[in-house]
Amino acid sequence: MGKATKRKKIKFILIKLLSVMIVVCGWYLIDRFSLSKVFPYYPVTADKDSTLTIGIIGDSWVEGEKLDSIIHRFLLAANFNNKTISSGQREAKSKSVYQNLFKGNHDPYSSKFIIETRPDCCIVIAGVNDASGQMGANFYSYHIKQIIKTLLHYGIKPLIVSLPEFGIEETPANMNGLVEFFWKLRNKTFANFNNHGEIDNIKTYRKDLLNELVSESLKDSVVIVDFDSVCIDYAGCPQLYADRGHLSKYGKEKLCQVITAALVNTITAQKQSAVISLQ
């Protein structure tokens, strides 16, 4: 085989490899940043439990029933007999939290049972992974809106915890060297596309969601639990965090105190409204 033929063969192989890489990267980016389709609602026939029922859905902050027992205890202390159920998925972005509401109950991350239980209220804690992954304010707002619309369709009051404060500019503890370099490069690149290069996007995402709720006349149907009541700035609340992206035991207690206060106000207002409507 001549040198010219070898060069042609190598060039052909390189072009094929480059083409495959472009297709794979393109598919990855489309899959990563695309908005979820809106799923059709499914019938729910179960009777509503007379016991106050609270649902919680979200990411790793919810996974493993981390908050259930705390909120249950705080509500009991406030003289509200209750049942608290939850479903969370580690590293889930708001897109997955929305899609999990429609997955079959055989799926380990399905939160369909939350809807089928027909809770009075559902707490939504999501967005940390959206912000950390630089997904864009529109991505976050769109999927939180779909979650809200789904809960409202089934007569469930949404309590949305505003995008939590966390160490968004901190490097994860398990990263160093080349991995850390590429992680920072990826975040900076995505931030340039989605947030004018600003890495700390938390307030931007929060503002965008509130604007969207107002524009779609959803704000009055939702309770926003302001995370600033827990912590305004990550650097100033070290005792509340176990690491850059997760709360400590004390942090969970404080968050649940704020959530419970919002729940008590919401439930009390609902009861008063029901009494007035009967008069």
pLDDT reading at 11 higher than 70: no
Cα–Cα distance measured from residue 137 to residue 190, given in angstroms and rounded to the nearest whole number: 12
For the ranges 47-61, 75-89, 113-127, 263-277, the lowest mean pLDDT is seen at 263-277
* pLDDT over threshold 70, residue 4: no
User: Of the spans 48-52, 139-143, 182-186, which averages the highest pLDDT?
Assistant: 139-143
> Does 94 have pLDDT greater than 80?
yes
pLDDT digits over 178-231, tens only? 777 777 888 788 888 888 888 899 999 999 999 999 999 999 999 999 999 999
Work out the mean pLDDT of the chain and round it to a whole number.
89
Q: Check residue 83 and give its pLDDT.
A: 96
pTM above 0.75, yes or no: yes
Integer Cα distance of 171 and 168 in angstroms:
8
Checking if the pLDDT of 1 tops 60, the result is no
Domain ranges in the chain are 51-278
Alpha helices in the chain (DSSP H): 3-33, 68-77, 94-100, 112-117, 128-132, 137-153, 177-194, 202-215, 249-278
**Mean local confidence (pLDDT), 22-50:** 79
- CATH 3.40.50.1110 given to domain 51-278: yes
Q: What are phi and psi of 31, to 5 degrees?
A: -65, -40
Cα 256–Cα 259–Cα 263 angle in degrees, nearest 5? 130
Strand order in the sheet with 223-225: 82-88, 52-58, 121-125, 157-161, 223-225
Q: What share of the chain has pLDDT > 70, as a percent?
A: 87
In the 8-state DSSP scheme, what is residue 216?
A: T
Per-residue pLDDT, 181: 77
Q: pLDDT at residue 57 above 90?
A: yes
Residue of 209 and 269 predicted with greater confidence: 209
Task: Report yes or no: 89 and 61 within 8 Å, Cβ to Cβ.
Answer: no
